[in-house]
Structure 1
Amino acid sequence: MRLIYLVAGIIAVGFGIVGIFLPLLPTVPFMLAAAFCFARSNPEWERRLLDNPQFGPPMRAWRERRAISRRGKAAALVALAIGSIVGLAFLDAPWRFAPTAVALVCGTWIVTRRTD
């Protein structure tokens, strides 16, 4: 089971790194998933993620207080809005409304989380 968690953690880090360069792909949720997996497979790698100056603070805020920073919320909401606009512009019906529905559900969830 440790091997499965280790592989899942490595994949999550990979997606998180890709998310740094693609504005519509979130980074921190993938890093949170990686930390979760590494906690069960390789605690040293989990510690490295939590100590990372870029990813560590938002990950610790989420773990300790279930909080998202104002900047993180704003970035997520902007990305959701852009995804909705792209979907409305380029997808055919009925699929054109799927990104907007996802954005409304996810955006509502994000807005209702504690602000750090």
Structure 2
Amino acid sequence: MYRTVLIFLGWLAVALAALGVVLPLLPTTPFLLLAAWCFARSSPRFHYWLLYRSWFGSYLRHWQQHRALPPGMKIRAALVIVVTFAVSLVLVKIVWVRIILLMMMTFLLVMMWRMPVIDVEQQKRE
């Protein structure tokens, strides 16, 4: 039963992470980390799929190995955050919702800029 619940939660987290790629209010990374955790404890096959066959695999493997973002990822992620929130800000006409969106965007950008990045030299040495 425990294994089944973890597999279900893992696939739910993968689905939410995939939605988070295109929806600005839904984060991707925490759901991917949750899915990896669930699959590591319940299904070696699904865990392998997530790490080596999914779109997100290279990022998860990099995070597991270095506990840092790959070079250039911080700027790309910040651009995606700004673009998706900009679209939302253009589409939303309610002022208080715009303020909340701006606060969320600011929070996400601050969190993104605080994440460590491994440089190319460090990556070659490891």
Verify same fold: TM over 0.5: yes
- Are residue 58 (structure 1) and residue 59 (structure 2) matched? yes
What is the deviation of 1:6? 0.8
Q: In the comparison of the two structures, how many residue pairs are matched?
A: 115
2:76 match: secondary structure:
helix
Q: Which runs of 5+ in 1 are unaligned?
A: none
Q: TM-score, normalised on structure 2?
A: 0.72
1:1-116, aligned counterparts within 5 Å? 1-18=2-19, 22=22, 24=24, 27-52=28-53, 54-89=55-90, 90-116=92-118
Q: Which runs of 5+ in 2 are unaligned?
A: 119-126
Contact 1:3 1:41 in 2 (8 A): yes
2:95 match: secondary structure:
coil
Q: TM-score, normalised on structure 1?
A: 0.76
Q: Percent identity?
A: 28
Contact 2:23 2:84 in 1 (8 A): no
User: CA 1:23–1:71 in 2, change beyond 3 Å: closer, same or farther?
Assistant: farther
Q: How many angstroms apart in 2 are the aligned matches of 1:80 and 1:63? A: 23
Q: How many angstroms apart in 2 are the aligned matches of 1:64 and 1:6? A: 24
Q: How many angstroms apart in 2 are the aligned matches of 1:94 and 1:36? A: 37
Q: How many angstroms apart in 2 are the aligned matches of 1:60 and 1:103? A: 27
Task: Give the counterpart letter for 1:63 in structure 2.
Answer: Q
